[in-house]
Amino acid sequence: MAINTGAGTRIYIGPRLSANLPADHAAAIALLAAITYVEVGEVESIGDYGDTINDVSFAGLAAGRAKHLKGLADAGSSDLSIGFDAGDAGQLKLVEAFIDRSRYDYPFKVVYVDGETDYFAAKVMSNKKTGISVEGVLKRTVTLGINSEIYEVEAE
């Protein structure tokens, strides 16, 4: 596969999940792939996302050397910069997910220009209007708090 720009990348949101994702990797992908998603329109950029594993260190007296172990995995949060469109179905779904206080997450799908797809489950943690100026485009900035691993599916 060749490298690409982000042009042509799209992000989608699905309906709120009614349970946690399955622990089995393949089962989680199958569930996420079967969901009907709504595209979020006018997305300008998608912030960084993906797992970071915390460093758990231990310093044994006898060895006199620190040992590093892998701790908690955290996919972090990702900011979406979106051209504000009050009538866009995907943006309305993001607002709905922001207002929702359910313990369950919303599924997201990111499809790249080459067909590779990322799936993940997240909560919408912020919904802000930005870029309010004379010659600025009114935008919506949304923060996704990611609560699952990033399920990468190669293009077929």
Residue 5 within any structural domain of the chain: no
Q: Is residue 117 part of a domain?
A: yes
144 domain residue, yes or no: yes
- Summarised one tens digit per residue, pLDDT across range 21-44 is 999 999 999 999 999 999 999 999
Give the CATH number of the domain where residue 126 resides.
Answer: 4.10.410
Range of the domain at 51: 10-153
Residue 1, pLDDT score: 60
Three-state SS string across the chain, please?
CCCCCCCCCEEEECCCCCCCCCCCHHHHHHHHHCCCCEECCCEEEECCCCCEEEEEEEEECCCCEEEEEEEEEECCEEEEEEECCCCCHHHHHHHHHHHCCCCCCEEEEEECCCCCEEEEEEEEEEEEEECCCCCCCCEEEEEEEECCCCEEECCC
Look at residue 1 and tell me if it is in a domain: no
Does 146 reside within a domain?
yes
Burial class (CB in 10 A: 0-12, 13-18, 19+), 8: exposed
Structural domains in the chain (count): 1
- Burial code of 37-55, b = ≥16 C-beta within 10 A, e = fewer? bbebbebeebeebeeeeee
Instruction: Look at residue 47 and tell me if it is in a domain.
Output: yes
Enter the pTM of the model: 0.92
Let me know if residue 136 belongs to a domain: yes
- Positions of the chain with pLDDT under 70: 1
